[in-house]
Amino acid sequence: MRRSTRLALALLAVLLVVVAGAYSAFWFDAAGNIQDGLVAWVQSPRADKFDISWEKMRVTGFPVAFRVELESAKMRDGARIPSPEVRIRSLSGVARPWDLTDWQLTASDGITADLVAPADKVPVKFVTQNAEGVVWIPPEGGWNLWLRLRETDLHAISQIQLGSTDAWIEVPPEPGGRHGDPKMAIAVAAHRVEAPAALGPLGAKLDELDFAATIKGTLPNGRLTEALTAWRDAGGTIEVDNFGLRWGGVSATGLGTLALDDGLQPVGAFSGEVQGYDKILTALVDGGRMRASDAALARIALNLLAKTSADGKPAIKTSFTIQNGQMFLGPAKLGKAPRLTWE
């Protein structure tokens, strides 16, 4: 081998050692900054009353990634009374060194959350067996979160089971100053939703439930009932930008607005399209909620309104409303709306 070639290879080897050493120093310095930054954020004033803790934390993944691992993590929002609490036995977040705004999340042992837990009432508890997702934190502020949840139970007055669920949350960088400005956008796509008792005339199982909504208005700190009352009185609403379900042969899509009445119960009005409406009338008659003669008249009226949809099936454009504790699909009463207990 020529001397010049040996010299070039030696210089290249030295360069590689220098680059590797510099990158190693960068990685371990960045890993320390990530760990210190997370601790500092938890203790910062902007996290006031939002308590985050864990038993163990470590940063691994050298050399191709940063992997933050938390054991027995707990998050509690002390600004609300009662305070929502989230518990995660094992949580990991992975990002590439060249993009620390995009973190892949995994909670392989699931997530447990107490959403509303008054002292003398049945708590609303959320339990999922497995979760994964992505959180994106842009430099200008705000954050976006996507989660995929598997085998989820929602415990309230009764237990609702969800086979799989995708959820998205988007928080803007700087919430607007006006009360009616959007404060958060949320979307959920749930599959195989099952309750222990019938949700309405078509039974206890929903094949699919999707919605996307924008929450407008700021929810103040303090007791939940007082905060919700202030939010409602200031004009707070939930704008449902998209809604869809498939339920016992019925499918529906729509959009509308939800709010709270004087008793802090949901009221809302939606417009959309319904296929399979005849099954609803049949179920109402079979369940003794509607007389056969009234159903026959409603069927005639609905058939006159029906048009052929894109897939060739008859569909009607109708409304769904919640008022005075009752649910209505067009003129047909579906039954009582679920009653919410806040305290």
DSSP E strand boundaries for 108-225: 111-116, 124-136, 143-155, 159-171, 182-194, 205-216, 222-223
336 SS3 class: strand
Render each residue's pLDDT in the chain as its tens digit; 343 residues: 555 565 555 565 556 555 556 767 777 788 888 888 888 877 765 555 678 888 999 999 888 899 999 999 998 877 777 778 889 999 999 999 889 899 999 998 989 888 765 544 556 788 898 999 999 988 888 889 999 998 888 876 667 888 889 999 998 886 555 555 668 899 999 988 887 666 566 667 888 889 899 998 888 888 888 888 999 998 889 999 998 888 878 888 889 999 999 988 889 999 988 888 778 778 778 777 788 888 888 777 777 777 877 777 778 888 888 888 888 877 777 777 777 777 6
Please give the model's pTM, rounded to 2 decimal places: 0.78
143, 183, 259, 290: CA torsion to nearest 10: -30
Q: Which residues contact 86 (CB under 8 A, 6 or more apart)?
A: 74, 75, 76, 111, 112, 113
| 236 vs 313: CA distance, rounded Å | 38
Which amino acid is present at 41? W
Domain segments of the chain: what residues?
1-127, 175-343
